[in-house]
Amino acid sequence: MNNSDEVVFLHQVTAPCHLAMLAESIGLKTRVISDIEQLEASNDPCCFYLISQQGAAVDCNGIPLVAAQLVKHVPVALYDVTKDSLDEESALLLGVRGLLFSDQRMDLQLTGLRKILADELWYDRTLISRVFRQLVSQIETPLQLSTEGSESFQQLTRREKTIIQLVSSGARNKEIAEGLCISEHTVKAHISSIFRKTHARNRVELLRWAEPFQNQLNLHSAV
């Protein structure tokens, strides 16, 4: 169940750490420390860190500052958390493995501790589902945009791709016309067609659209 050699509790209040006592009673190797410097000196990936919210300096989301630093390197969960004093979604997205609330029964906290040490998340299921849906949505949107952009790119003519490359280099309509030996009126007609195919409203939006296709555009820069 436990993938960690030791469970370290950062307990910065004078009251006894009952959760650590309970963890030790079920055979877990535990260590309770009250000094942040001791915790930094024990920055060992084989340890699991339980940070008490009580007595800790916290950020605007109620998350202990030391937890935000440690979570980049070692597994971290929070305990003695006061209800409604912490943004649970921010803690989850930060990488905190779970939250054990101070008003929960000790048997429920012990269940949560077991789950966390078994490499599971210990959060409200509704919260996990909502965050998961948000993350999936963020992944799907760029993929959809990429597909649409590729379809638009395929619709462009060779001359239009050449003009986009010239626009990207900063050339004005007159310079494009001279370089391609065509009239400015024809250049404007090409750019209007390009805007329509790429759904760009102006040159700035066109340049943003063209960024992922620079390698392909370079192949069409010569007339």
pLDDT by residue (tens digit) across 146-204? 566 677 888 889 899 899 988 888 888 999 999 899 999 999 999 999 999 988 888 88
% pLDDT > 90, the chain? 46
Report pLDDT for 59. 92
112, 100 Cβ separation under 8 angstroms: yes
% pLDDT > 70, the chain? 85
What's the CA gap between 171 and 166, in Å, rounded?
6
Q: Which residue has the higher pLDDT, 211 or 40?
A: 211
Per-chain mean pLDDT for the chain: 85
Report pLDDT for 86. 94
Concatenated DSSP letters of 135-189: HHHHHHHHHHHHHHHHHHHHHS-HHHHHHHHHHHTT--HHHHHHHHT--HHHHHH
**Segment 126-143, tens digit of pLDDT:** 999 888 887 776 655 554
pLDDT band at 100 (very low <50, low <70, confident <90, very high): very high
Say if residue 223's pLDDT is above 70: no
Report pLDDT for 139. 58
Other beta carbons within 10 angstroms of residue 36's beta carbon come to 18
Report pLDDT for 222. 45
Give every strand in the sheet of 76-81, ordered side by side. Answer: 30-33, 6-10, 47-52, 76-81, 99-101
What's the mean pLDDT in 108-113? 92
Report pLDDT for 143. 47
pLDDT band at 41 (very low <50, low <70, confident <90, very high): very low
Structural domains present in the chain: 6-123 (3.40.50.2300), 130-218 (1.10.10.10)
213, 156 Cβ separation under 8 angstroms: no
Report pLDDT for 206. 87
User: Which of 194, 163, 197 is CA-nearest to residue 180?
Assistant: 163
198, 206 Cβ separation under 8 angstroms: yes
